[in-house]
Amino acid sequence: MREPFHPSTDDISLASVMQALSDPVRLEIVARLVDSDGENCGDIGCGIDVHKSTMSHHYRVLREAGVTRTTIEGRTRIVRLRHDDLEKRFPGLLPSVLAALREGAGH
């Protein structure tokens, strides 16, 4: 199995990150990953009511935008947020997005 594509930190663009974060399902995935060292892609999607192929699409969009990194461990794909890369590239962006998400959930 070949490794999935990930942009280098310097190639992560603000437009692609914002586009990836513009979808409610992808925001939910990011919110679930924020306090995690990585999750099995099947576990992250548990309780999100979309088809498996749609979840795969969302994982790909997040990965190709540079928001997440997917590693293959045996037959399992582990998804992790690229906290450090995003903070280096766009300081404060991810915490701001997550704070806005939490605020929105409280209303």
Q: Is residue 41 part of a domain?
A: yes
Domain containing 53 — which CATH number? 1.10.10.10
Model pLDDT, residue 74? 87
Who has greater pLDDT, 60 or 73? 60
Q: pLDDT digits over 31-63, tens only?
A: 999 988 888 877 877 788 888 889 999 999 999
pTM for this structure? 0.89
Query: Strand order in 76-81's β-sheet?
Result: 39-40, 76-81, 68-73
Count of domains forming the chain = 1
pLDDT (mean) for 56-81? 93
Share of the chain above pLDDT 70, in %: 96
Domain with 41 in it = 9-89
In a domain, 16, yes or no: yes
- Is 17 inside a domain boundary? yes
Looking at the domain assignment, is residue 95 inside a domain?
A: no
Is the residue at 72 inside a domain? yes
Q: Is residue 70 part of a domain?
A: yes
Is 78 a domain residue? yes
